């Protein structure tokens, strides 16, 4: 669910350059602290009752076709709303082919999924529910099922003034996800003036991140993600953004992921192929091919020649990007009994 670019760290346009010694450019680093909350769209204001309903839906396996998979089957609160594995399982035990992205701070994105195929959280919410390989739920059937649950009928009436329907499901799920904002990380405190918030190693890593390693060219803004799409040589098995646009030049491109709480959200890359922060940084420092097998140029920087001795500093910096997760208590699902399977 909510499959959470193959641009994980240190990505940059091969033609771009970042000034490394200019004091003015350092004062204008395009990185800012994470805001404390996410702004809601006009047509879906955040309210406590709506968030509660969205939380119930997020953890309810009724949203899947066989009543066995919920959004939380891939997005575990105890794993930073990721799953800690390369590929999770979907409908019928099918192995999914993209790594689960965290839902933490997801409301700050302007597009969703690794390939950016949704422009809003509301649209994104219904995608995995309907996907044949993920939750495999027909929306007409889901509406019927939730309307048969008096608890949900009452909740939807309170929140939306309607019976349970797909529009309300999407809005409630989106409202809940917008509350999943992490608190200030050590790096946020450092940016706000607390120069004791980072270790000496993390400070050195920050200097490399915005300088020689060129990470900041793609990992910037409050999410430490520019929300754009890049081809990094991770693999050529998944067409990525091209599946959305149909353009050859978008083959193998994936959205830059956030680096917020990145130390808690491995494994990494769109295919989960990198197991640790160290292996991700090493992947770039070793240098990647300059073109794909079908001749498309890479978007990643050429970091060959950079000292491997710098890798621990970058890892220390990345570890400083973890802020406290929002308080979590399990939802109280509607008490009505639920069949374990649609076929029961």
Residues that are catalytic: 134
What residue spans of the chain are helical by DSSP H? 23-27, 48-58, 121-130, 139-147, 150-160, 166-177, 186-191, 200-209, 242-245, 277-285, 311-319
d(CA 308, CA 305): 9
The CA R_g of the chain, rounded to the nearest whole Å, is 21
Residue 230: which H helix or E strand, with range?
strand 229-231
**With contact defined as beta carbons under 8 Å apart, do 70 and 63 qualify?**
yes
Classify 49 as helix, strand or coil: helix
Note the residue count of the chain.
344
d(CA 63, CA 57): 7
d(CA 154, CA 164): 9
Distance between alpha carbon 148 and the CA centroid of its chain, in Å? 33
Buried b (16+ CB within 10 A) or exposed e, 12-26: beeeeebeeeeeeee
Classify 76 as helix, strand or coil: strand
């Amino acid at each position: 669910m909510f499959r959470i670019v193959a641009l994980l760290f240190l990505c940059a346009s091969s033609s771009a350059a970042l000034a490394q010694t200019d004091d003015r450019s350092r004062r204008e680093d395009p990185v800012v602290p994470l805001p404390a909350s996410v702004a809601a769209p006009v047509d879906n204001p955040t309210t406590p009752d709506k968030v509660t309903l969205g939380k119930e839906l997020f953890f309810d396996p009724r949203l899947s076709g066989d009543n066995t998979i919920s959004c939380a089957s891939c997005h575990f609160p105890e794993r930073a709303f990721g799953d800690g594995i390369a590929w999770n399982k979907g409908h019928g035990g099918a192995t999914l082919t993209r790594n689960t992205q965290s839902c933490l701070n997801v409301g700050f994105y302007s597009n969703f999924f690794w390939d950016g195929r949704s422009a809003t959280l509301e649209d994104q919410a219904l995608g995995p529910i309907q996907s044949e390989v993920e939750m495999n739920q027909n929306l007409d059937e889901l509406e019927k099922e939730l309307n048969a649950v008096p608890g949900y009928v009452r909740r939807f009436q309170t929140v939306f003034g309607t019976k349970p329907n797909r529009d309300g499901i999407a809005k409630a799920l989106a409202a809940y996800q917008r509350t999943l904002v992490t608190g200030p990380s050590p790096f946020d405190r450092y940016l706000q003036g607390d120069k004791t918030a980072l270790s000496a190693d993390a400070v050195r890593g920050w200097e490399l991140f915005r300088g020689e390693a060129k990470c900041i060219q793609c990992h910037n803004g409050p999410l430490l993600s520019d929300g754009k799409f890049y081809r990094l040589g991770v693999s050529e098995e998944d067409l990525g953004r091209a599946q959305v646009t149909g353009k050859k030049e978008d083959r193998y491109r994936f959205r830059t992921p956030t680096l917020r709480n990145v130390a808690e959200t491995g494994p990494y890359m769109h295919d989960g192929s990198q197991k640790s922060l160290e292996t991700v940084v090493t992947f770039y420092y070793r240098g990647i091919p300059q073109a794909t097998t079908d001749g498309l140029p890479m978007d990643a920087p050429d970091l060959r020649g950079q000292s491997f001795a710098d890798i621990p500093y970058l890892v220390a910096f990345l570890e400083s990007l973890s802020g406290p997760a929002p308080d979590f208590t399990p939802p109280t699902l509607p008490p009505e009994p639920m069949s374990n399977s649609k076929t029961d």
